[in-house]
Amino acid sequence: MPGLDWLTSRPIAHRGLHNAADGVIENTATAFTAAMAGGFGIETDLQISADGEAMVHHDDALGRLTQGNQPLARMNVAAIRAVRFKATDDRILALSELCELVAGRVPLLLELKSRFDGDLRLAARTAAVLETYTGPVAVMSFDPEPIAAIRRTAPTLTRGIVAERYYTHREWDRLSAAAKFKMSFLLHAPWTRPQFLAYSVKDLSAVPPRVARNLFGLPLLTWTVRTAADIARASRQADQIIFEGFRPAPTGIKNS
């Protein structure tokens, strides 16, 4: 798609260039700084706080990587800032702090996490923070609703959809079979109008990503690329990789 070459020009580090064995934890300033030093784009996750701030964290609750076990949506920013990671001195960042850190040096790909409950505060806050950000940035989500909201309220902000063919992980148990089908086959596209697609690397041979890329010309990113087999599949069927666990060539699969 014209104007989105920056989105596929280089590999994108999944949750930053992290390596727990070296003390570099996902979605931290240290991981993001490492990604920038390597010349990679950054993919990261956003959660909403109780007082409506966009916070950089993958899980909707503390505990896997941090002290505590509370849901972030029940904590205010001050409480979240006080949280300590188990293996690093990093702290959870607000989106505004991430923007200050990256400062347009590499592409920024922000996944809006969702509980599929109609809460659009994260989409609204993300759009508000990004109004003054001048670097290459895009938002995406599995949930069509926040992306449709971005289209309505911030139409100039680059937006995409994250999807896979089969939603079998237990995290998707909350969704009906009809909802999963709609997400898998991008049936929401008439009102979300995604400008790119991020599809599971294991499912690249499915019809939806092939149609999106080859018929509608949408840039196709693929996640999460970890193995030589993943790279080979992505090289044939996608435009760029969202990777972790290794250091790819500077251009990834671009022009390969």
Q: For 193-245, what is each residue's pLDDT tens digit?
A: 999 999 999 999 999 999 999 999 999 999 999 999 999 999 999 999 999 99
Indicate the residue type of 101.
Answer: L
Break the chain into its structural domains and give their ranges: 5-243
pLDDT level of residue 12 (50, 70, 90 thresholds): very high
pLDDT bracket for residue 2 (50, 70, 90)? low
pLDDT grade for 143, boundaries at 50, 70 and 90:
very high
User: 143 is written with which tokens?
Assistant: 């949930």
CATH class of the region 5-243: alpha beta
What pLDDT sits at residue 254? Answer: 73
Confidence at residue 132, expressed as pLDDT on a 0 to 100 scale: 96
pLDDT at 1: 65
Residue 160 has pLDDT above 90, yes or no: yes
Dist CA 238 CA 231 (whole Å): 10
pLDDT tens sequence across 88-142: 999 999 999 999 999 999 999 999 999 999 999 999 999 999 999 999 999 999 9
Q: Whole-number mean pLDDT of the chain?
A: 96
Query: Is the pLDDT at 256 greater than 80, yes or no?
Result: no
- Name the residue among 159, 169, 167 with its Cα closest to residue 208: 167
Rounded to an integer, what distance in angstroms lies between the CA atom of residue 9 and that of residue 83? 35
The model carries a pTM of: 0.97
